[in-house]
Amino acid sequence: MKKLLVFVILCALLLSLGMLFPAAERLYDVSFYYGWYLGGDSEAYSPVGDITVAWRPNISSEMNLADGDLAEWYASGLTATVITPHNMITWTGERVVTDFKITAFTAADADFLYLAFDIVDSDFVYGEEGEFYNGDAIQLSVDFGNVLGDYIEEDPDLLLCAKNIFYSFTCIEDGAPIQIRRQESIKDGLLTEANGDGVKGAAKKTELGWSVEFALSWQLLYDDYLWRAWEEDPRFYVSEGMEIPLRVGACLYYLDRSGTPGDINWAAGTMQDWTDENGNPAVTWTQYDSGILWKLPIQEGMSFNCDGIVIYEEPETETSETEDLETETVEEPTEPSETETGIPEAELPLQTETALSEDETLFAVTESSDVTDGKSVGSDTAGCASAVSLCSLATFTALAAVAYALKKK
């Protein structure tokens, strides 16, 4: 009898631990790192804010992305955004940097979001390999659709990974095809044009630092977003004008290397103006850091080669003369009989109390949860709650067994 009790107790405890670990595995700790304004305190910090993306349907023929030279961008008539140390917050290294600047261009066509950065960095360091971007490097974190911040508000416990998708790169060799390292995704690794990964571009050293021009396909951005999406229909519906533009939230982080492998002079990003209760700037590597919001206004004749972008057009409603006459006809109200409800059949509430069989119930639950890449995206909170409940049941069973054993003694 004692051996049986010991066996029951051990099984219950093992079950308890087994239920706890999967639940804990889903939790994601978001740490806040406190930094300083890269430009010091001499001027007020200012996020980069909104940037309008220019629609250039023929840009692929206008720009040669194979050399990293930005002369064509400066001559294109596109509006440039200048990012200075007073738009950036550090999380490591020097507090005040005065000789740093990024001039950024953005454009778009049906296939790609195009970006070009002219970086002033007096201590430029080449990278040795794209996989680890171990030279001066840019990390671009992207919140495609600018919706992931709402998910954090909806789920403060952050049961899903809270970080944006990161696209990181360096300049390995002048004019060499860019290698972009994707991070915080279920498909982390190098992205290259040669592999058909939806990226293209090049970088090169310049007199004042280095420059890079590259493009990320809309389909790539959308496919990476799907891992984070909570909606039943995760597509983006946009409309003409600025009513519903296509939005991309982003943070541009810069890592300034010293030339010694592993050493960083400073690292900073274009964060929003987030601070702790003491007023210290905070860095989170989540959607809260997205101090840049790219907006692409939707215009007549635009189209996208992307499954997830739908241009929504308000249907036109025309009222014929016959319809006008019909609306003017007013019928006299009639008293409902004793057997009538007084409510038209079409407006009667649906009956929802019909019992479901076990198979039907399982099917209904499966259909209501949004499953992406093998993950039940919309039900993580419920999943953890279920795990904790099962864990509690297992623990109670173990305690009951111990109490029974003590009573027998």
Residue 397: its pLDDT value, please? 56
If we measure between CA atoms, which residue out of 79, 72, 71 comes closest to residue 51? 79
Tokens encoding 244: 């519903």
Q: Which one-letter amino acid corresponds to residue 280? A: N
Cα angle 216, 222, 226; round to 5: 140
Q: Does position 407 have pLDDT exceeding 60, yes or no?
A: no
Could you tell me the pLDDT band of residue 261, with boundaries at 50, 70 and 90?
low
Could you tell me the pLDDT band of residue 408, with boundaries at 50, 70 and 90?
low
Tokens encoding 59: 């840009």
Residue 277: its pLDDT value, please? 66
Cα angle 104, 52, 108; round to 5: 75
pTM flag (> 0.85): no
pLDDT tens digits, one per residue of 264-311: 899 999 988 777 667 777 787 778 789 999 999 999 899 999 999 999
Residue 227: its pLDDT value, please? 84
Q: Does position 196 have pLDDT exceeding 90, yes or no?
A: yes
What does each C-alpha distance from 249 to 3, 7, 90, 273, 292 come to in angstroms?
Answer: 61, 55, 19, 15, 6
Could you tell me the pLDDT band of residue 320, with boundaries at 50, 70 and 90?
very low
CB environment 266-294: b (16+ within 10 A), e (fewer)? bbbbbbbebeeeeeebbbbbbbbbbbbbb
Q: d(Cα 119, Cα 122) in Å, to the nearest integer?
A: 9
Q: Which one-letter amino acid corresponds to residue 3? A: K
Q: d(Cα 403, Cα 5) in Å, to the nearest integer?
A: 10
Residue 133: its pLDDT value, please? 78
Q: d(Cα 342, Cα 25) in Å, to the nearest integer?
A: 55
In whole numbers, what is the pLDDT of the chain averaged over residues?
75
Q: Does position 399 have pLDDT exceeding 70, yes or no?
A: no
The answer to whether the beta carbons of residues 211 and 117 sit under 8 Å apart is yes
Q: Does position 96 have pLDDT exceeding 60, yes or no?
A: yes
Q: What is the 3-state secondary structure (H, E, C) of 246-291?
A: EEEEEEEEEEEECCCCCCEEEEEECCCCCECCCCCEEECCEHHHCC
More confident residue, 144 or 328: 144
If we measure between CA atoms, which residue out of 120, 87, 122 comes closest to residue 101? 120
More confident residue, 97 or 282: 97
The answer to whether the beta carbons of residues 226 and 125 sit under 8 Å apart is no
More confident residue, 235 or 10: 235
Residue 289: its pLDDT value, please? 85
Residue 272: its pLDDT value, please? 85
Residue-range domain boundaries for the chain = 1-30+385-409, 32-310
Residue 229: its pLDDT value, please? 82
Residue 2: its pLDDT value, please? 57
If we measure between CA atoms, which residue out of 88, 124, 297 comes closest to residue 210? 124
Name the range with the highest mean pLDDT among 52-56, 371-375, 378-382: 52-56
Q: d(Cα 289, Cα 166) in Å, to the nearest integer?
A: 12
Q: Does position 184 have pLDDT exceeding 80, yes or no?
A: yes
Residue 360: its pLDDT value, please? 35
Residue 161: its pLDDT value, please? 54
pLDDT tens digits, one per residue of 30-71: 456 677 888 876 567 889 999 999 999 999 999 999 999 999
Q: d(Cα 214, Cα 115) in Å, to the nearest integer?
A: 6
pLDDT tens digits, one per residue of 210-256: 999 999 999 999 999 998 888 889 999 999 877 899 999 999 999 99
Residue 276: its pLDDT value, please? 66
Tokens encoding 407: 């009573």
Comparing 3-12, 96-105, 364-373, the range with the smallest average pLDDT is: 364-373
Which one is the CATH code of 32-310: 2.30.30.100, 1.10.630.10, 1.10.238.10, 2.60.40.1190?
2.60.40.1190
